[in-house]
């Protein structure tokens, strides 16, 4: 009887996994279409053509990496340019298939365009838009290169960098940027500010409160991470990301980082401040 049962249970399973064992999906199809929104040249809907799978991941080509989304996903691309959209379909047994298609955005959104200059650090002109803020005399430093700004060091030292931006009174703005670390950090703070108060060399900066936050005491940054600070940051009271401009004129976007051990460092790029 036992032999009969074993034959019933296992007799139909292929010996070679290449023949398919039902635990993975060998027929995944990640193809998708892109539908323009008639109300805005910056809005699109991504539609998977095959929905016989478990989960969709989308990378919309803005530098933020992939995120879990729907099989129909609405996206907003506020800046003119060409974006390579990648859809990854995840099936049984964590099997995956991917497809990529470009979107060309002809016009930047007039309300939500990025008012930060040089936030991608791609050229010497980009880098020239930023000023290093000395806080500690040594021990922690920011370096611009390779399309990123990267901070390394430790010993409870810190350093920042900043840019003057032009805002409109009573308009609400949202700050975000891509932050990554291949190693994670130890006893470290990473903070973003925006204020009418100008930074002063050789002085700490904390004007008008933290707008974006990665902080190991708050529970993030200790392990490797990569993504927009709106996603990889923590402590909602310090990671709200938005502010209402109190003036029409100049405010200062300040990014600083310090701590005991930054290990492999934290890199940032795609820095943006956008009207809401």
Ordered alpha helix ranges (H), 75-209: 124-127
Is 113 a member of any domain?
Answer: no
At 233, which CATH number?
2.60.120.200
pLDDT in tens, 210-244: 999 999 999 999 999 999 999 999 999 999 999 99
pLDDT in tens, 235-245: 999 999 999 99
Is 138 a member of any domain?
Answer: yes
Please check whether residues 245 and 143 belong to one and the same domain: yes
Is 13 a member of any domain?
Answer: no
The domain of 51 spans 25-105
What's the mean pLDDT in 54-81? Answer: 91
Top-ranked range on mean pLDDT: pick from 9-13, 90-94, 192-196: 192-196
What's the mean pLDDT in 138-162? Answer: 97
Judge contact between 190 and 222, C-beta under 8 A: no
Please check whether residues 95 and 199 belong to one and the same domain: no
Is 269 a member of any domain?
Answer: yes
Phi, psi of 237 (to 5 degrees): -70, -20
Mean pLDDT of the chain: 91
Please check whether residues 174 and 43 belong to one and the same domain: no
Domain total of the chain: 2
Judge contact between 129 and 68, C-beta under 8 A: no
Is 150 a member of any domain?
Answer: yes
pLDDT attached to residue 76: 92
Phi, psi of 19 (to 5 degrees): -80, -10
Q: pLDDT band at 14, cuts 50/70/90?
A: very low
- Report percent pLDDT > 70 for the chain: 91
Please check whether residues 252 and 145 belong to one and the same domain: yes
pLDDT in tens, 65-76: 889 999 999 999
At 86, which CATH number?
2.60.40.10
Please check whether residues 242 and 157 belong to one and the same domain: yes
- Global pTM? 0.76
What's the mean pLDDT in 259-263? Answer: 98
Assigned token pair, 123: 């050229």
Please check whether residues 177 and 94 belong to one and the same domain: no
């Amino acid at each position: 009887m036992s032999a009969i049962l074993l034959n019933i249970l296992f007799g139909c399973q292929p010996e070679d996994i290449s023949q398919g064992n039902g635990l993975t999906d060998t027929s995944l199809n990640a193809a998708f279409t892109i539908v323009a929104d008639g109300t805005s040249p910056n809005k699109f809907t991504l539609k998977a053509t095959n929905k016989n799978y478990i989960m969709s991941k989308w990378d919309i080509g803005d530098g933020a990496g992939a995120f879990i989304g729907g099989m129909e996903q609405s996206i907003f691309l506020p800046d003119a340019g060409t974006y390579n959209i990648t859809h990854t379909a995840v099936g049984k047994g964590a099997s995956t298939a991917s497809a990529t298609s470009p979107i060309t955005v002809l016009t930047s959104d007039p309300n939500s365009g990025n008012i930060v200059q040089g936030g991608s650090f791609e050229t010497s002109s980009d880098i020239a838009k930023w000023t290093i803020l000395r806080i500690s005399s040594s021990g922690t430093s920011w370096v611009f290169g390779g399309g990123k700004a990267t901070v390394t060091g430790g010993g409870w030292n810190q350093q920042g960098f900043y840019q003057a931006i032009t805002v409109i009174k009573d308009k609400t703005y949202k700050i975000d940027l891509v932050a990554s670390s291949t190693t994670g950090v130890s006893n470290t703070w990473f903070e973003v500010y925006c204020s009418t108060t100008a930074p002063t060399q050789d002085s700490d900066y904390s004007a008008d409160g933290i707008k974006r936050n990665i902080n190991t005491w708050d529970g993030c940054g200790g392990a490797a991470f990569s993504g927009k600070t709106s996603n990889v940051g923590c402590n909602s009271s310090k990671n709200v990301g938005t502010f209402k401009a109190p003036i029409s004129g100049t405010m200062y976007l300040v990014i600083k980082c310090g701590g005991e051990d930054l290990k492999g460092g934290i890199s940032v790029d795609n820095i943006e401040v956008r009207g809401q």
